[in-house]
Amino acid sequence: MDFSTDRPTFFINPDYRPMTGAAKPVIDPATLETVGAIAAAADGEIDAVLTAAAKAQAGWKKLDAKSRARHLHAVANAIEAADFTRCAELMVREMGKPYPEAIGEIANCAPIFRYYAEMARDEAGKIAGTTQAGSFQYARYEPYGTSVHIMPYNFPILLMCWTVAASLAAGNACVIKPAEATTLSTLDYIKVFRSLPQGLVSCLPGGAATAQALITSERTHAVAFTGSVAAGKAVAVACAERMKPCIIEAGGSDPLIISQHAPLDVAAAGSVTAAFHLTGQVCTSAERFFVVDAVHDRFVELFAEKTRALRIGNGLDKTEIGPLVSEAARAKVMRLVDDAVRSGAKAVTGGRIPPAHNVGWFYEPTILTGVTSDMAIVREECFGPVAAICRVENFDEAIGLANDSPFGLGASVFTTDLAEAHEAAERLEAGMVWVNNPLIDNDALPFGGWKASGLGRELGRQGLDAFRRSKMVIIDHKPAIQDWWYPYPDSWFREAGGRKHV
């Protein structure tokens, strides 16, 4: 499909269907040119998606584990066989991600489908030690029904595959509500699900109103959301009002500690990626740096040197730093940086719009020193290419300041001291801790945050359990009258004042 000329569409597996709503242009954040058009789902389109999902899920949940796994492996095969050049180019033009990152994200999702295909076959329930002779007692897992997946723009394909693979493996149908900024690339990618039963996976474009309609519908039964804290809280409240389970990944302001025992060359190189990957638009980006005084100046020198070598430009060119996703996103970054500088911080690198890129939403990768813990840039999520550095006396102070935050998604440490590494893993208040290698994830380990950074977990066994409910089953294969059933025998009562008491 040529999304730049075709009318807006939505997807009910295996078909694209035209949308009836008014078209809205998609703007390239690097060039401000029009890439294509999208529309918000109308009531009839939402109804069509949910009707198809319910019908498909009725059959899908009855499949045996081996057959369901075979379907998920077929999706993985389709991913491995596909040419995603166009999809990656669309993503670059929609939200500015450098092409190597876009093609890497969308081409490397097959393993998550294979992981959950086999996880669901292996983790089907639990037989418990019996509490009563002659009784078979176990737990089984069953799907919820139809799950809703509300996706962010920064990793629209990877994060979608994380939760969709788990939900499908659990036996659910899936409705994907892509971010408006990455709708075209998501629609292009969605073809990999065509081997699945008709209607089992759908992609329904739209904004907040579409998300709200899907969350509040009685025909949806679980929600996965990735986005801002404010939106995450709204989703959690809406789900709680309906007793609907949800997974909320709500971003953060991750700390990164540079110990006096840090390997400074490695730390500086790793910090560049931790802070500036995807122009800092990663939920687990390192935003708050706590550098021990003994190595502060040398670390800043090395960090700045490597940062100045980064190339700024269109994601389709040879570049590491693309534009921010929108004018509003850049305005927030500029507000926080300008506020910090007015309050006494110093911009060692960046702190401005690059002179050579005054078209589009570009901002130079910025290192701030002299930052204090009361500045807004430390208290808020910046979500841009900014590393705010606080000088600290020692490792203990760094841990304390790192934890002094409403967020708790991830945290990173650079050190060669084994005691510090283990202490950081124990004391840091975050759902994930990285020592000497930030931003790594693992399909088999839970991904998610503490505090305001979220509820529930993606990936691993917990990621599968998020999309299925347990049922305790007790079967007595030799029916017998139990001695604790009514009526109680007289021997169970005691005499007291002429009256009997249990």
Q: Per-residue pLDDT averaged across 221-246, rounded?
A: 97
Helix 65-81 to helix 158-170 angle, to the nearest 10 degrees?
A: 160
Q: Per-residue pLDDT averaged across 434-451, rounded?
A: 97
Which residues neighbour 26 within 8 Å (Cβ) at sequence distance 6 or greater?
Answer: 34, 35, 36, 37, 38, 94, 181, 183, 184
Q: Per-residue pLDDT averaged across 295-299, rounded?
A: 98
- Among positive and negative, which fits the CA dihedral 117, 119, 125, 127? positive
Nearest 5°: CA angle at 234, between 200 and 144? 30
Burial of 263 (C-beta count, 10 Å sphere; 0-12/13-18/19+): middle
Query: Rounded distance, CA 401 to CA 26, Å?
Result: 41
Tell me the per-residue pLDDT of 123-176, one tens digit each, with 9 for 90 and over: 889 999 999 888 999 999 999 999 999 999 999 999 999 999 999 999 999 999
Q: Per-residue pLDDT averaged across 412-428, rounded?
A: 98
Q: In the block, which residue shows the tokens 């409910």?
A: 469
Percent of the chain topping pLDDT 90: 94
Cβ(459)–Cβ(446) under 8 Å? yes
Which tokens is 175 given? Answer: 């409705």
Total-model pTM: 0.96
Q: What pLDDT does 7 receive?
A: 85
CA count, 13 A, side-chain hemisphere, 153? 28
Q: What is the CATH number of domain 254-435?
A: 3.40.309.10
Query: Rounded distance, CA 155 to CA 205, Å?
Result: 16
Residue 494 pLDDT more than 90?
no
Pairing of strands 9-12, 15-18: antiparallel
Tell me the per-residue pLDDT of 320-370, one tens digit each, with 9 for 90 and over: 999 999 999 999 999 999 999 999 999 999 999 999 999 999 999 999 999
Q: Per-residue pLDDT averaged across 31-50, rounded?
A: 97
CA distances from 431 to 126, 147, 490 (A): 27, 24, 56
Is CATH 3.40.50.1100 the classification given to domain 9-250? no
Confidence label for 421 from pLDDT (cuts 50, 70 and 90)? very high
Query: Smallest Cα–Cα separation from 380: which of 348, 442, 332, 438?
Result: 332
Residue 496 pLDDT more than 80?
no
Which tokens is 123 given? Answer: 């983790």
Q: Running DSSP on this structure, what letter comes out for residue 148? A: E
Domain ranges of the chain: 9-250, 254-435
* Residue type at position 94: E
Q: What is the mean pLDDT of the chain?
A: 96
Q: What pLDDT does 497 receive?
A: 52
Residue 4 pLDDT more than 90?
no
Q: Assign 3-class secondary structure to 340-381.
A: HHHCCCEEEECCCCCCCCCCCCCCCCEEEECCCCCCHHHHCC
Pairing of strands 286-292, 386-392: parallel
- List 36's β-bridge partners, or say none: 26
| Residues that are catalytic | 249, 283
Confidence label for 5 from pLDDT (cuts 50, 70 and 90)? very low
